[in-house]
Structure 1
Amino acid sequence: MAESNKKPIKDRIAEVAGKFAATRFVRAIMDAGYSVISFSIIGSIFLILTVLPKAIPVPGFAAWYVGTIGRFTNLFQSVYNATMGIIALVFSGTFAYSYTKIYRDEEHLSLIPIDGLMMFLMGFFITVAELVWKNGRVEFITLFTKDKMIAGGYQASPLAGIYRIGAVGIFIGLVVAWITVQIYRFTIKHNWQIKMPDSVPSGVANSFSAMIPGFCVAVVMSAINMALVMAGTDLFNVLFIPFSFISDIADTWWGFLIILFLIHFLWWFGIHGATIISSFYSPIVLANMQANVNQGAHHVFAGEILNAFVTIGGSGATLGVAIWLALRARSTQLKELGKVEIVPAVFNINEPILFGLPIVYNIDLFIPFICAPMASGLVAYLAIAAKIVPVIIVQQPWPTPVGLGGYLATTSWQGGLVSIICAIVAFLIWYPFIKHFDNVTLKNEKSNATPDAA
């Protein structure tokens, strides 16, 4: 019988996931996700300054705050609006820049990344203004109510800045960026550009080479938006429908658990599941966190919920494992690994355990690696959904230690306490498996030991 040439299922899954992660679109989104980390953390720091009385419920502190730091809350809000309030521009703009650069490098086209970024900004702002078809002409919407203020087509508020360029506009921005880069690429591939003599300075030549592609972007985006305005809507509202649908699913307990499963299922194959899956949910958690802040919404899936409550110690929620290995493991190998890992684990870094135990491709540790973060995630979800813990309103740095991360994310002691509980729950899932693995490893160490010479 001919020997089967089929690859093992784990190799096929790893191959498919690897190819997906290597696609140009996903790589550009990953770059965009990295770009907003510092912006969101800076904005969150200044947001904390505006909610200090809530974060520090000490008698007399609120009165002291009003007469001191509280006098500058509008300034703090301005900084927040200048970071989280323009996050769609930063996220989608970085995507456009990176996407253009990838095509330039891999297809060897004369694309200029900064031109791709500038064209995206033009195309995106075509969709930002709210228009209406009225009396046979296009008009800017002007509306002043208790809940909404739109002047000259732009909706704004002191708490959110210009509405459509904040986190709520990330998904729309990505679509516009993709269209922009594809138009730019098409025009350059077909040589639709103004070429200047070699004697002309490169800066001047580049500005002229982007003129025809930029004009095409303006025409296409205007035509799409105009057709929708005449139909009684606009591009932003049309694209916001699927984004809201996906966001609603991700914000359910079962949607949240599916996300956690996918992250760790990919990690078990040695693929950075957090990076791949977060490239899709980043727009959702950013938009949800901003809605929690500005609109008083109650979104559980927001901000850095994973690092605050779920992946404590790193992917797989392995903080308790690292501590147990360092203090209680009988195997010399595992005890030494625990000593190496215990400090990084405090800051949610666990590559030594992932590849040192190893967890990757280790069928004996597959169940706790998948189930521990899902269990801690479910505890956190239920606590926030039941309003035992306030919603997440702050983007804390991902290496923030257990307890402090939950406290900062929710600006509440309840968040800090539940964060610690989540770490304990995760370790309870891990305990029987890691103890058994320690016994097996110890047995192997003894059997492989070389007897002393007579």
Structure 2
Amino acid sequence: MDRFIELLNRKVLPFANKMGTQRHMTAIRKGIISTLPLTIVGSFFTLINNIPIPVVEKFMLPYKEMLDVPFRYTVGILALYATFGIASALAESYKMDRLTSGILAVLAFLISTAAPIHVLKNVDGVIDAGRYINIANLSASSLFASIVTALLTVEIYRFLKDRNITIKMPEGVPPEVSNSFVALIPAAIILLIFWVIKFVFGFNIATFLSTVLMPLKGVLAGNSLLGGLLTVFLITGFWVLGIHGAAIMDPIIRPFWEMSIAQNMNEFAAGTSPHHLSTIFTEQFLQWFVWIGGAGGTLALVTLFLFSRSRYLKDLGKLALLPGLFNINEPIVFGAPIVMNPLLGIPFILGPIVTATLAYVLTVTGIIPMMMIRLPFTVPGPIGAFISTNWSVPALILGVVNYLIDLAIYYPFFKAFEKQQLVQESEAAKHD
């Protein structure tokens, strides 16, 4: 085991660290995460609009269309918000004007993704193309197009700015005015580039990327057990190496996660049963059924520490209990530590693999519904599972059962670790 960890340190750790701090990957992560408040709020409106109580459903029926509006303008146009966030984050890393970069990226995204090619018609005659936008083109299904257009826009803007292909204003002009004129030529060039790509060459970035990347989505954030377990293994494995697993995986898998939960939410809002939605392995599936107490299912370990004979582990358990209840587990991951610790690292990886497999089996057999809304990650696991599956009692029970499974898996490793700790404390006491 020590040799394996040493190999990972030499071969995997440098690459993972480089990926985690790479400028464009960081911008993608920051930009998409910046949309979380909107999608969480949109989720609550979906929840309110679908309370499974006949009396409440009947009362809410006249207001369903009105209550659907917040969802459509949060989750429904997620890619539009993400475009601005990603471009702003990348511009900030280059010390460029964030506001201008974000606006130019939104322009590029709308031109390349949302603008219709064909002239629209209505009963009164012809409507000029471009006056109306189908907001479905701005949803999470276009998230990869938003990433590409945001990154390309900022890089084009930076290229032009570095070569002084801009309009410079005299000294003393207010910065906001100066920045606007600096962006004038880049704005025209960016508009022209993306317009030519879409309308002259007829190339749709969103369609192309969806065709290329959808098979990968089906593996990592779809209905494949192997793909779901691979995601679990990579996230927990990176944590054991001392790297924030979610931060490393975010730029790769978060766009898929966002697309998956948005698709589930859209289908649920349209009346599809939670048992027949499109995607099992959403981020919420892992959050509420697998990451109980945080990545690695560490709430179980916190509980065991609370009853430890080791003074240090007992005190650490008390310290980590409150954060653990709300799925924040850095105190236990770095305090025990789990990082670079084979005794605790093995159950940290093994437990989530077992609980994810059980949750998957119960989902595909129709016992547990799929996830259909997004909640803040700080909601305690079983409660989050209960709400996110349209108030499913079996989901609530599964959350508790998975916690007990984590307890059973951690227990023998905890006892071995506790024994080591007691020996160390005994030796320390002799030298006091």
Q: Considering the TM-score relative to the shorter chain, is it more than 0.5?
A: yes
What's the counterpart of residue 3 of structure 2? Answer: none
Identity of aligned residues (%): 30
2:174 alignment partner AA = P
Aligned to 2:70: 79
TM alignment of 1:87-106, pairs within 5 A: 87-104=78-95
1:380 maps to 359
- 1:314-368 alpha-carbon deviations (Å, 9 max, x no partner): 12111111112212x2222212211222222111112221111111011222211
What is the CA–CA distance in structure 1 between the aligned matches of 2:238 and 2:8, rounded to whole Å? 13
Q: Pick from 337, 343, 346 the counterpart of residue 322 of structure 2.
A: 343
Decide whether aligned partners of structure 1 residues 373 and 228 sit closer, same or farther in structure 2, where only a CA change above 3 A counts: farther
Q: TM-score, normalised by structure 1?
A: 0.85
Question: What is residue 28 of structure 1 aligned with on the other side?
Answer: 27
Deviation at 1:95, TM superposition (A): 0.5
State the SS of the aligned residue for 1:52.
coil
Matched, 1:362 2:332: no
- Counterpart-to-counterpart distance in 2, 1:119 and 1:307: 35
TM-score of the two chains, using structure 2 as the length reference: 0.89
* Structure-to-structure mapping, 1:236-255, within 5 angstroms: 236-250=206-220, 251=222, 252-255=224-227
Unaligned runs of 5+ in 1: 1-6, 54-60, 105-110, 133-138, 145-149, 157-161
Partner AA of 1:140 in structure 2: V
Q: Deviations over 1:191-244 (max 9, x none)?
A: 110112224333332222111111111111112223542xxx622211211231
Matched residue of 2:430: which SS? coil
Q: What's the counterpart of residue 292 of structure 1?
A: 264
**Which deviations, in whole Å up to 9, do the C-alpha atoms of 1:114-160 show, x marking residues without a partner?**
1111111111011234645xxxxxx336799xxxxx9957674xxxx
- Other-structure match for 2:236: 264
Equivalent residue in structure 1 for 2:186, among 213, 216, 219: 213
Q: Is the partner of 1:403 in helix, strand or coil?
A: helix
Q: Does 1:116 align with 2:101?
A: yes
**1:360-406 Cα shifts (integer Å, max 9, x gaps):** 01122221111111211122222223222111111011011121010
> 3-state DSSP class of the match of 2:34?
helix
Provide the C-alpha distance between the structure 2 equivalents of 1:305 and 1:185, rounded to a whole number of angstroms.
40
Structure 2: gaps spanning 5 or more residues: 1-5
- Cα distance, 1:383–1:130 mapped onto 2, change above 3 Å: farther
- What do you get for the CA RMSD once the two structures are aligned? 2.4
Query: Using the alignment, how far apart are the partners of 2:76 and 2:54 within structure 1?
Result: 27
Aligned partners of 2:234 and 2:394: how far apart in 1? 28
* Structural mapping, 1:41-440, within 5 Å: 41-53=40-52, 61-67=53-59, 69-104=60-95, 111-129=96-114, 131=116, 139-140=118-119, 156=134, 162-229=135-202, 234-250=204-220, 251=222, 252-295=224-267, 296=272, 297-327=277-307, 329-411=308-390, 412-440=392-420
Q: Secondary structure at the match of 1:304?
A: helix
Q: Give the secondary structure class of the aligned counterpart of 2:94.
A: helix
CA distance in 1, matches of 2:257, 2:106: 23
What is the rounded CA distance, in whole Å, between the counterparts of 2:342 and 2:303 in structure 1? 22
Deviations 1:225-281 (A, max 9, x none): 23542xxx6222112112312211111111111111111111112111112212322
Compute the displacement of 1:182 (Å): 1.1
Matched residue count: 412
Q: Secondary structure at the match of 1:200?
A: coil
| Cα distance between partner residues in 2 of 1:278 and 1:143 | 43
